[in-house]
Amino acid sequence: MKGFRLFRSIQIKLILMVLLLILIAVQLIGVYFISTMKTSLINTFTTNLNNQSNLLTSVLSASNLFSSTKDENGTGDTNELLSTLVGSFFNISGAEIQVLDSSGKVLATSKSSQQFYVGRKNTSLLVSRALQGVRDNEEEIIDEDNTRNKVIAKPINSNGRIVGAIYVVASMQEVYQTMERINQIFVSGTLIALGLTTILGVLLAGTITSPIKVLTKQATAVAEGRFTERVPVFGKDEIGQLSMAFNDMTDRLSEALAINEEEKEKLASILSNMSDGVLATDEYGRVIVSNRRARGMLGVDELKEGIELSIALGIEKEPINDTLQGNENALLLRRDEDEEEELVFRVTLTPIRRRDRGVAGAIAVLQDVTEMEKLEHARREFVANVSHELRTPLTTIKSYAEALGDGALEEPPLADRFVGVIRSETERMIRLVTDLLHLSRFDSGRNQLRGQKTDLSEMLEEVVDRFSFQLRQKAITASVKVEHKLKGVWIDRDGIDQVLDNLVSNAIKYTLDGGTIEILARRNEASLLAIMIKDTGIGIPKKDLARIFERFYRVDKARSRNMGGTGLGLSIAREIVRAHGGTITIDSEANVGTVVTVLLPIVLEGSEPR
Ligand code: ADP
């Protein structure tokens, strides 16, 4: 496996490629060179042998040695002479020369070891062809020692007659040895060249592969998110350019990722600081992103991974599936925070579209519309209440006016009574409208407080004085107790006067004849001015206490109306007290009495008025 991997390395491939190329080139050159060399050497050897043989035949032809050996039994002297001649004449090392007469019988031989041939007949084909006059007779033979020999037979002419022939056998061993040496030189040269090429190949291929290795390392580093490392650039060649391009790419990638990261952070911080809840889903409607506000709205710390949006919101799947089909949807979600308050959220479902994938998910935006819903509800109720409150006196006025028109005018005592009713109903309507205007001024924030130094006991005495008639009528005893320290306090006298008027008038209205009313003012432990109006009246049932400050809320509508109440007195009182930065509370027990406590921050004499 390791070897296989090694073979896959570019360096090894390059080296093998170069080695193979060199091997093929050397082989081709070698084959061509050696074969040319061999041919040339053999040719030279053969030509040399032929030349010398020709020379010898010429010498022999010109000599009279053959004329004396014309007869069959040539003399021993002549043969010896021939032997000396051939022995000394030929300088081809190791060559054997036989001189033959016209019948093919050996007359002399150059080799002393071959002397026994003398007198015998040479029967070779070459000799008989030479004796027939063929001049170019040659062949290569391999003798018993496995030596290659060149054999040449040439005729000897004398006076136009063939008088004999020479027969030369020359060993070609030297030629082949030379060839062998050249071959060896070639092989060793090739091996040296291959060795050197391998070393050079390793070094040169290294110059290509090492930058590639560095690039690979860098690519891995980039893939792992390390953008600080750089590829060294060593030149302007292709690899240098690649390295530069890679560094450039790394920079851009890092920049793009940084921008991406920044965008993500921005988005995350926008999401987490949004006042609306946001939930995003994948294409299957499973929640993948949620912000803190959304989780807060749903009353959970964490959303389970991959939870379905319908389950997270506790709604039907239908609108979500519809949104995933590409439609927008909106719905109201009601959730009970605790028993008392119900939270209302508006959920807007919008599909997320991707250019190539169509709808890739949905976004649910949760808006807390509890306050809006409450306000809307209050507004509707208010309009209904106002219409109702105005309708009753108007109907009464209308019917009394009709009665007057129908003849009651003719009866003065009846007419007086009717006119009285019309007047009191009209006054009630005026009171109502005045109260409403008052409230509307508070609602729009147009009611400016005008602080002034006030003697509290004097102010409270005046309130009681204003109601002295009603108090006497109902034989109610009213008393005022004020801590003497509270002589000069800064308050909006008109505003607080109205609060006290409303509260005292209520106390009188809802106290039976002969009851008592106490008005107390003191500075409490928290340094707040506490004004209490206590009565011994009919009281308010516990269940109504929580809503008693609501506009138009009355415990007993008929009784309140009979008393000329509008149902707005307490709510106006609360608005004024709140504007002072104070609080108003009511404590009551049915048929025992009621205590209304107004707490106001005291601005002492000498300090800035509020
Ligand atoms: P109204 O004009 O009807 O008096 P208020 O807003 O002043 O309207 O009071 C609201 C309701 O609170 C009254 O209808 C009455 O039922 C109840 N209420 C207020 N003050 C007293 C009190 N001192 N004793 C008994 N019930 C009271």
326-330: long-range contacts at Cβ-Cβ below 8 A with a sequence spacing of 24 or more? 326/351, 326/353, 326/358, 326/359, 327/351
Find out whether 319 and 309 touch, Cβ atoms under 8 Å.
no
Instruction: Write the pLDDT tens digit of every residue in 485-500.
Output: 777 788 888 899 999 9
Token pair 């109260």 is found at 435
| Rama region for 571: left / alpha / beta (φ>0; ψ in -120 to 50; rest) | alpha
Residue 36 scores a pLDDT above 90: yes
Q: What per-residue confidence (pLDDT) applies to 338?
A: 66
Mutate to test the pocket of ligand 1, among 385, 429, 474, 510 (most ligand atoms within 8 A of CB): 510
Residue with the larger pLDDT of the pair 181 and 78:
181
Q: Whose CA is nearest to atom 14 of ligand 1?
A: 554
Whole-number Cα distances in Å, 134 to 104, 137, 138, 460? 14, 7, 10, 172
pLDDT of residue 341: 75
**275-304 residue pLDDT tens:** 899 999 999 999 998 998 999 888 888 888
**DSSP per residue, 99-143:** EEETTSBEEEES-GGGGGGTTSB---HHHHHHHTT---EEEEEE-
Structure tokens at 178: 């030379």
For the cut 50, the answer to whether the pLDDT of residue 140 exceeds it is yes
What is the structure's pLDDT at 392?
87
Q: Which H or E element spans position 48?
A: helix 10-62
What is the average pLDDT across 326-352? Answer: 86
Task: Please give the number of the atom of ligand 1 that sits closest to the Cα of 557.
Answer: 14
Lowest mean pLDDT: which of 24-28, 159-163, 328-332, 581-585? Answer: 159-163
Q: Beta strand pairing status for 593-601 and 583-589? A: antiparallel
Share of the chain above pLDDT 70, in %: 93
Is 537's C-beta closer than 6 angstroms to any atom of ligand 1? Answer: yes
- Average pLDDT of the residues in 416-439: 91
- pLDDT confidence of residue 72: 45
Q: Token digits for 47?
A: 């030509």
Q: What pLDDT band is residue 609 in, cutting at 50, 70 and 90?
A: very low
pLDDT band at 517 (very low <50, low <70, confident <90, very high): very high
Nearest to 295 by CA among 273, 315, 281, 277: 277
Whether pLDDT at 48 is above 90? no
Question: Do residues 538 and 591 lie in contact, with contact meaning Cβ atoms separated by under 8 Å?
Answer: yes
Query: What is the predicted pLDDT for the residue at 364?
Result: 94
Give the pLDDT of residue 10.
79
* Nearest in space to 135 (alpha carbons), one of 161, 165, 106: 165
Domains and CATH numbers, the chain: 10-178 (3.30.450.20), 274-368 (3.30.450.20), 384-443 (1.10.287.130), 449-600 (3.30.565.10)
What one-letter code names the amino acid at 239? I
The predicted pLDDT at position 443 comes to 83
pLDDT score of 5 more than 60: no
Three-state SS for 598? strand
pLDDT of res. 8: 64
Top mutation candidate among 435, 552, 554 for ligand 1, by most atoms within 8 Å of CB? 554
CB 233 within 8 A of CB 43: no
Which ligand 1 atom sits nearest the alpha carbon of residue 572? 6
H or E, element range at 347: strand 342-354
**Contacts for 559 with CB less than 8 Å, ≥ 6 apart:** none
Is the pLDDT reported for residue 3 higher than 60?
A: no
pLDDT band for position 260 (cuts 50, 70, 90)? very high
Choose between 222 and 593: higher pLDDT. 593
What's residue 536's pLDDT?
95
Structure confidence at residue 354 (pLDDT): 85
Beta bridge partners of 109: 98
Question: For the chain, what is the mean pLDDT?
Answer: 86
Q: How confident is the model at residue 232 (pLDDT cuts 50, 70, 90)?
A: confident
The minimum-distance atom of ligand 1 relative to the CA of 566 is: 2
pLDDT digits (tens, 9 = 90+) for 63-86: 767 665 444 444 556 777 777 777
516 Cα to the center of ligand 1, angstroms:
17
- Would you say the CB of residue 552 lies under 6 angstroms from ligand 1? no
503 alpha carbon – ligand 1 mean position (Å) = 8
| Phi/psi at 9 (5° precision) | -70, 145
Question: What value does the mean pLDDT take over residues 328-342?
Answer: 81
Q: What's the whole-number mean pLDDT along residues 307-330?
A: 91
User: Which residues neighbour 422 within 8 Å (Cβ) at sequence distance 6 or greater?
Assistant: 396, 397, 400, 401
Residue 340 has pLDDT above 80, yes or no: no
Residue 573 beta carbon below 6 angstroms from any ligand 1 atom: no
Residue 585 has pLDDT above 80, yes or no: yes
Q: What is the pLDDT of residue 583?
A: 95
Q: Residue 133 region, left (φ>0) first, then alpha (ψ -120 to 50), else beta?
A: left
pLDDT in tens, 439-455: 888 888 877 788 888 88
| CA-nearest residue, atom 4 of ligand 1 | 565
DSSP-derived secondary structure letter, 482: E
Give the whole-number percent of the chain exceeding pLDDT 90: 37
* CA 270 / ligand 1 centre spacing (Å): 49
Looking at residues 545-552, what average pLDDT do you find?
90
For ligand 1, the distance from its centroid to the CA atom of residue 568, given in whole angstroms, is 9
pLDDT at 610: 44
3-state DSSP call for residue 147?
coil
Is any atom of ligand 1 closer than 6 Å to the C-beta of 205? no
Q: What is the pLDDT of residue 608?
A: 47
In the numeric block, which tokens belong to residue 175? Answer: 């030629």
What is the enclosing helix (H) or strand (E) of 155?
A: strand 148-158
pLDDT band at 7 (very low <50, low <70, confident <90, very high): low
Name residues whose C-beta falls within 8 Å of residue 365's C-beta, 6 or more positions apart in sequence: 276, 277, 278, 347, 348, 350
